[in-house]
Copies of this chain bind each other. A is one copy, B any other.
C-alpha cells in the first residue's frame, strides 16, 4: 500500500473491467464511448491523479510538442529576456520549452545537441557559443528533420531561419554618437569575429570612422575583448599609450564596465577624458556611475519572433519551408558615459 506507484491506462482499465483502448478513448471524449463509461473512467482517472506518460505519448505521436533552446548563458540579461519572450509564445501555443546552456563551450554545445536530437525536442532555437568554430552539430537537426531557427548569434552560412538584430546599425549609431559628442580618436573593444554579431559591430565601427574621415588605427582595436576582465586589461593598455583615444566603442557592456572601472582606478574621468559606449543594455548600465550608454537589443521581441517563426515552420506541412531572416532594429540608449558636450 505504501509502495509508490505511477498509474497507467492499464491500471484504470483493469479496475473497471475494460481495456486500455476504451479508457484512452474515454479520456479523449471519443463519441464512440458511452456516457456511463466515460464518466467512470474520468472519475477514476481523476481519483488516481492519472496523467498520460509523456514518453509513451510522444513516442506514439511522433512529437512531444517541445522546443529546445540553446543559449551561451542563461544569466546574461539579454538571453534571459529572449527566453522570456520564447516562453510567452511557446506557452500560448501549448509547447514546452527545454532550456540548455552551453557556457560558451563548443564541446558542451555539441554534447547537448546530440542529447536533444534523440527525440527530446521537436524544434530548436539556438544562439551559438563563442568558442564554436564549425557547425556540423547544428547540421544534424536538418538531417533529422527537426526545424532549427537561430537567434542573435546565428551561424550565417547555414540555410535556416534566423532572427537577428541589425548589429551593424547599432554600431553605426553608437560610433556616430561618439563622434558627435566630440570624439576624434575612437578605440574599439571587439568580440570574437567568427560570430556574426561581433563581426557586424566591428564593421559598423570601421565604416563609421570612414564616413567621418577618421583614421583607422589597428592598435586601437582590441580583439576578443568582451568580458569585464579583458575590458579592464584593454583599458590598461590604452592608458599606457602615447596618444590617448578620447572615445571607446565596446562590443559589449561587460568589457565597457571593465574599462570604466579601470579608468576610474587610474584617475581618468568618463566621459570627460574618454567617452565610452557599450552594447547589450544590461541592467547594470543604468545603475553604475557613470551610467552606461548602450544599445538595446529587444530581447523579448527577438524571443517572440524566433519562437513564432519556429512554430510556424514546425506546424507547416510544406515539404521545404523557405528560411526567413528577421532583422530587428536596435535602439541606442544614451546615458552619461558618452555625454561630453551637453555639460562641458
Within 8 A of B (CB), among A173-223: none
**By the criterion CB–CB under 8 Å, are B59 and A56 in contact?**
yes
A276, CB-defined interface residue at 8 Å = no
Instruction: Name A6's closest neighbour in chain B (CB-CB).
Output: B144
**By the criterion CB–CB under 8 Å, are B4 and A51 in contact?**
no
Residues of B within 8 A of A59 (CB): 53, 55-56, 59
* Contact flag A118-B74 (CB < 8 Å), given A4-B142, A4-B144, A144-B4: no
Within 8 A of B (CB), among A1-59: 3-6, 49, 51-59
**By the criterion CB–CB under 8 Å, are A119 and B53 in contact?**
yes
A266, CB-defined interface residue at 8 Å = no
**By the criterion CB–CB under 8 Å, are B143 and A4 in contact?**
yes
* Contact flag A257-B53 (CB < 8 Å), given A5-B145, A142-B4: no
A245, CB-defined interface residue at 8 Å = no
Which range holds the interface residue count of chain A?
Answer: 35 or more
**By the criterion CB–CB under 8 Å, are A49 and B140 in contact?**
yes
A115, CB-defined interface residue at 8 Å = yes
* Contact flag A96-B80 (CB < 8 Å), given A120-B54, A142-B4: no
Query: Bound state CA distance, A84 and B83, in angstroms?
Result: 17
A206 to chain B, nearest CB (A): 30
A179 to chain B, nearest CB (A): 28
A75, CB-defined interface residue at 8 Å = yes
Instruction: Name A56's closest neighbour in chain B (CB-CB).
Output: B59
**By the criterion CB–CB under 8 Å, are B75 and A145 in contact?**
no
Residues of B within 8 A of A99 (CB): 74, 98-100
Interface locus among A153-161, A162-170, A284-292: A284-292
**By the criterion CB–CB under 8 Å, are B83 and A74 in contact?**
yes
**By the criterion CB–CB under 8 Å, are A54 and B118 in contact?**
yes
* Contact flag A74-B80 (CB < 8 Å), given A119-B53, A287-B261: yes
4 tightest Cβ-Cβ pairs between the two chains A and B: A4-B145, A75-B80, A54-B118, A55-B59
Binding site for B on A (CB under 8 A): 3-6, 49, 51-59, 64, 73-75, 77, 80, 83-84, 87, 96, 98-101, 103, 114-115, 117-120, 140, 142-145, 257, 261, 283-284, 287-289
List 8 extra interface pairs beyond A3-B145, A75-B80, CB under 8 A: A5-B145, A6-B119, A6-B145, A51-B114, A53-B119, A54-B120, A73-B80, A74-B75
